[in-house]
Homo-oligomer: A and B are copies of this chain.
Amino acid sequence: MSSSKLYLAVVGVGGVGTAFLSQLSNLPTSLRPTLIFLSRSAKQLYTQNYDAISPSDLQSSSSKLLSLSDLTSYLSGTPGKAILVDNTSNQDVANAYPSFLRKGISVVTPNKKAFSGSLQLWTDIFSAVEESDGRAMVYHESSVGAGLPVISTLKDLVATGDTVTRIEGVFSGTMSFLFNSFAPAESSGTGKGAKWSEIVTQAKEAGYTEPDPRDDLNGMDVARKLTILARLAGLKVEGPESFPVQSLIPKELESAGSSDEFMKRLPEFDGEMEGYKDQAAREGKVVRYVGSVDVGAGKVKVGLEMVERGTPIASLRGSDNLICFYTKRYGANPLVIQGAGAGGEVTAMGVTADLIKVVERLR
């Protein structure tokens, strides 16, 4: 509501960052802060006197690289208010959020590391927001489910006094695709369809997995998201390694060396996955990779579950995410949010929508 000018720094220009810059350039002027800093890996572009620069100038490179500490000073020196958009998944940048916030610099980010790392970092971030008395804010919608309204909905439920009893769902687009292909809810479920290793191979070739599929199969991405949701629901979760997470990397292949070596040996374990599928089929169910937070019992877990056919989780398609919030107000039928939970454009959408909210609050 005050009329001070807003300045924007953007760190990270990968898939999400590129889509974000494109969305940013299409915002009306009144919602678009002045871009004064842009960095990608070892390239940085900024102006000493806080003039506007255009993202199209990114090709040019500066001779002097700013450290995160330099960047904090640079941004706290603007004649108005500064906002940092962090489109990296970098832990060092995440670790610096409390410093940015304490200097009155707001943070908007899809970076999971900041909110799923140590509980100390989480506490530092939100204490800094609290202490700023409304000057600095942090928004991170895209840290779970990309642009799907997951974080904002959970925050609204809690802020308005509802009691969240349970959060449950499919939180990885990759896992969703793998299991929807491996054990589709429509098929009879036994003996037919592609083998597990074949489906992982297809997914890898189509670019649906990380370059090394073990980075999806270890479940840590899902565990990080559950850590964030559990904390927002009020649980003091130490981190993604403080609760049971079922890895789909066979023990024997944990140190299999290269990604190629891993993929080559994966067929040896097709029988094990087929076993889960058959077991589920015998119970009239399908196997899915599910994350859940039991708020009352204080329990978080991630792993394979046998899911009743006809339920929303069993009926998921493609690589969609699905998140169910069970609360006191909503009763037996949860509030459900479903849709693409990964991809540059939809992740950037969450970042851009967050930026708009920060601008509306700061201007």
Docked-complex contact B336 and A336, CB < 8 angstroms: yes
- Which of the residues B148, B335, B352 comes within 8 Å of A148, measured between beta carbons? B335
- Which of the residues B162, B310, B320 comes within 8 Å of A186, measured between beta carbons? B310
Docked-complex contact A1 and B135, CB < 8 angstroms: yes
Provide the bound-state CA to CA distance between A335 and B361, in Å: 27
Docked-complex contact B318 and A315, CB < 8 angstroms: no
Provide the bound-state CA to CA distance between A149 and B151, in Å: 11
How many chain copies does the complex carry?
2
Contacts of A1 in B (CB 8 A): 1-2, 134-135, 361-362
- 1/0 per residue, CB under 8 A from B, across A324-336: the answer is 0000011111111
Flag whether A263 is at the interface (Cβ < 8 A).
no
Flag whether A349 is at the interface (Cβ < 8 A).
yes
Docked-complex contact A160 and B356, CB < 8 angstroms: yes
Provide the bound-state CA to CA distance between A312 and B337, in Å: 12
For chain A, give the interface size range: 35 or more
- Chain B residue at minimal CB-CB distance from A155: B353
Docked-complex contact B335 and A330, CB < 8 angstroms: no
Please report which residues of chain A, range 135-179, place their CB below 8 angstroms from some CB of chain B when the two chains form the complex: 135, 147-149, 152-153, 156-157, 159-162
- Which of the residues B310, B335, B339 comes within 8 Å of A334, measured between beta carbons? B339
Contacts of A31 in B (CB 8 A): 159
Contacts of A338 in B (CB 8 A): 312, 335-338
- Please, could you name 7 A-B residue pairs with CB atoms under 8 Å apart, sorted by A? A1-B2, A1-B362, A156-B349, A159-B352, A160-B348, A161-B352, A335-B339
Other A-B pairs beyond A330-B346, A335-B340, 18, CB < 8 Å: A1-B1, A26-B161, A27-B159, A31-B159, A148-B335, A152-B152, A156-B349, A156-B356, A159-B353, A160-B353, A312-B312, A329-B343, A331-B340, A333-B339, A333-B340, A335-B337, A337-B337, A361-B361
